[in-house]
Amino acid sequence: MVKNTHALREENYDLLRGICCIFVIIMHTAALYTDYEFRHEGMPWYYYSFPDFLQMMTRAAIPCFVMLSGAFLLESKITMDYGAFYKKSIRKLGGHLLIFSLIAVMWRLVGGEGLYTILTSSLSGRPLGHMWYMFMLLGLYAVAPILLRLRLDIGDKHFTNLSIFLLITGCIIHFTCNLFWILQFSEYLGFFTIGYCIRNNFSNITHNKRNICYFISVTCFIFTFVLNECNHYFWNTEIVFRQPNFPTVIIGSIALFIAITGTKVKHVFKIIKLISDTSLVIYLVHPFIYGSIDYVFRATLGSQINPLWYVPILTIICIVGSMIFVAIYLSLYKKCVSFIESKVYLNTSY
């Protein structure tokens, strides 16, 4: 019965994945104004408060992406088969990650960065800033079969308790340790495991409980925005409120995931479905798109562009540009993969 329910509610997660992909783009375009090194003295308050608000209200993107991965991987039987699972994971992530890592290195070389700096950050799992997530995801995929076997051994109730413990531990690790990138996935194990627990237990929550979860989520992110503004105007400490493992971000993200899990979605707009289906490549390519467009805009209009119109316009252009690129890229990528696989098959046949 649970499996049937999940099959019927698949549209929920397509919607969430598409929204989170858009959230990531908004988050990064808004960062052009929220990062302190890009701020200009004497500018109106809304030059930074508006982008800050967008940044805080989209903070659920990364936690929800991780929960979506856990929701499916920790239930799928193929995850039990180490060989089949890792082979499928390499096909899904490996090729794209390698290609875009090379593109990132070339992008930074053209931008004038030193080769040593580029190689050092690349070997630290950051060929380009946003790609930390993809390398972190490799760690979660690596331990997914172990976590699934653990879930089956200890049962769902104890697995839920373990997930809560991992969320708390991840928060503590994030703010007290500086882990090597190979171990960075440990900070997100709680999101990964709680994703399965939510999908398994909250598909049939009542309308009122679902609305309460939406309210909690919005309240948490508004509160995070207020904290961020207080920090900017009064405290001026190192920014920690934007982090995925900040307590209000954790609570807000989980509340949103529960609410979406319990929401009946009969139809998802085609454009959202398309973004959802290609979210992996859109995530990888979008910084190159908005970075190029932003360079042209600022070279033409100057550096102090009004964010009230610029951030929304840049976001829309970035989404459209990313989707056009993805359509061309995936067509070529699939042809290349098919060609390589045919050559490998022919060589192994003799």
Where do runs of H (alpha helix) occur along 124-188? 132-154, 156-176
313's tokens? 């316009």
This prediction's pTM: 0.90
Q: Which residues contact 321 (CB under 8 A, 6 or more apart)?
A: 289, 293
pLDDT, tens only, 121-136: 888 888 888 999 999 9
Catalogue the long-range contacts made by 327-335 (C-beta closer than 8 Å, 24 or more residues apart).
329/281, 329/285, 330/278, 330/281, 333/95, 333/96, 333/99
Written as tens digits, the pLDDT of the chain (350 aa) is 344 445 544 789 999 999 999 999 999 999 888 765 555 566 777 778 899 999 999 999 999 999 999 999 998 777 778 888 888 888 888 889 999 999 999 999 988 888 888 888 888 888 888 999 999 999 999 999 999 999 999 999 999 999 999 999 999 998 888 888 888 899 999 999 999 999 999 988 999 999 999 999 999 999 999 988 887 777 666 667 788 999 999 999 999 999 999 998 888 889 999 999 999 999 999 999 999 999 999 889 877 788 899 999 999 999 999 999 999 999 999 888 887 777 665 555 55
String of b and e for 25-64 (b: at least 16 CB within 10 Å)? bbbbbbbbbbeeeeeeeeeeeebbbbbbbbbbbbbbbbbb
Q: Is 90 helix (H, G, I), strand (E, B) or coil?
A: helix
Domains of the chain, residue spans: 2-349
SS (H, E, C) 228-255: HHHHHHHHCCCCCCCCCCCHHHHHHHHH
pLDDT at 190: 96
* C-alpha distances out from residue 147 to 28, 78, 79, 162, 295, Å: 32, 13, 10, 11, 44
CB atoms within 10 A of CB 81: 13
Q: Which of 41, 63, 17 is nearest to 242 (CA)?
A: 63
String of b and e for 128-164 (b: at least 16 CB within 10 Å)? bebbbbbbbbbbbbeebbebbeebeeeeeeebbebbe
Q: Which of 313, 335, 340, 325 is nearest to 281 (CA)?
A: 325
pLDDT at 148: 93
Q: Is 329 helix (H, G, I), strand (E, B) or coil?
A: helix
Q: Measured on CA atoms in the order 313, 314, 317, 322, is the torsion positive or negative?
A: negative
pLDDT, tens only, 137-175: 999 999 999 999 999 999 999 999 999 999 999 999 988
pLDDT at 39: 57
pLDDT at 185: 93
Determine the residue type at 105.
V
pLDDT at 345: 53
